Structure 1
């Protein structure tokens, strides 16, 4: 089973590239952001609980995120593999994901970090905000999310690097070129 973590700051292109990778490799996409937005839109109890947390640009507590993620994994037993987009964001989440997968005779195949500088991120998210109107793309919240990534989330990378599972791909350039680079990394996992 191919289990990938696509890693990068807000606006790095994780969602765009995930869609292309899902189509090519037949993976099930797990985006914690999409799951949270779905719960918020459907006004589920979980959605009501996390709505303000996300609107403020903060991370949802690990316990809620992990429980929701495990539920999603269990509900897709026939998947060829998973692509995790926006998760894990903390070492505790990475450890919990490893433990859950291990308990189910699986593991993370690889972690691919999309490298994009802050100036490019700001431009991309400003453009995305114009198109989508997503509340979490507002300038003040964006700054907080980027600071959260570079201050906290990026510390997950050494965890996977120590396991020999980390690859980095330049996330600036044409979408197809970045996709080609990602595909090359993924194809090397099966060699």
Structure 2
């Protein structure tokens, strides 16, 4: 099973990705985790990423694409994976299409979690308080939600047109949401 999990910050992507990964016995691949791994281990890709992050710059799509492709080619991904946090824009959709074509591993489904903005804001406020996340200020949250709406949400139409989109309500008991997703994927 090869899945993308998409949705705005605070909708529960990471939580659901972990539960789905356990259910399907496949790895969850978060672009943030890949970057941290490569930087920590000073891989060639990690050092290249650091040349941007050390200056406070965003890592360009071209490097993000290389890092994702490198990760998808690893042995533990042979039976599937869940990508969380990628693709984020139309150029990355094209790059992912090309990667999957080259790897001979088509995408099975795109799970998109949805929730009202008020629910997302409340969840992120709670997460900031519980985890002490400095990046969860009201201003940062609003900016990330706006970026998602502008750049990433339109990608759902691409996957819908391909018949891959599975829309799910991200509100409710975590286990119930997970059961709905699994049921809709079979």
Measured in 1, the distance between the counterparts of 2:71 and 2:105 equals: 15
- Cα 1:129–1:85 shift into 2, 3 Å: same
What is the SS of the residue equivalent to 2:88?
A: coil
TM superposition shift of 1:34: 2.5
Range 138-147 or range 44-53, more displaced = 44-53
Structure 1 partner of 2:160: 161
Per-residue Cα deviation, 1:69-93 (whole angstroms, up to 9, x for no partner): 0111122355310101111111111
CA RMSD of aligned residues (A): 2.0
Range 62-71 or range 44-53, more displaced = 44-53
TM superposition shift of 1:40: 5.9
TM superposition shift of 1:152: 1.2
Measured in 2, the distance between the counterparts of 1:87 and 1:76 equals: 20
- Cα 1:64–1:86 shift into 2, 3 Å: same
Measured in 1, the distance between the counterparts of 2:136 and 2:78 equals: 31
Measured in 1, the distance between the counterparts of 2:59 and 2:117 equals: 23
What is the SS of the residue equivalent to 2:52?
A: helix
Does the 8 A contact of 1:29 with 1:85 survive in 2? yes
Does the 8 A contact of 1:39 with 1:47 survive in 2? no
Structure 2 partner of 1:50: 53
Range 86-95 or range 134-143, more displaced = 134-143
Structure 2 partner of 1:181: 180
Alignment gaps of 5+ in structure 1: 54-58
TM superposition shift of 1:132: 2.2
**TM-score normalised to structure 2 length:** 0.88
Measured in 1, the distance between the counterparts of 2:32 and 2:107 equals: 20
**TM-score normalised to structure 1 length:** 0.86
Per-residue Cα deviation, 1:26-45 (whole angstroms, up to 9, x for no partner): 11111112223445666853
Structure 2 partner of 1:56: none
1:110 aligns with 2:109: yes
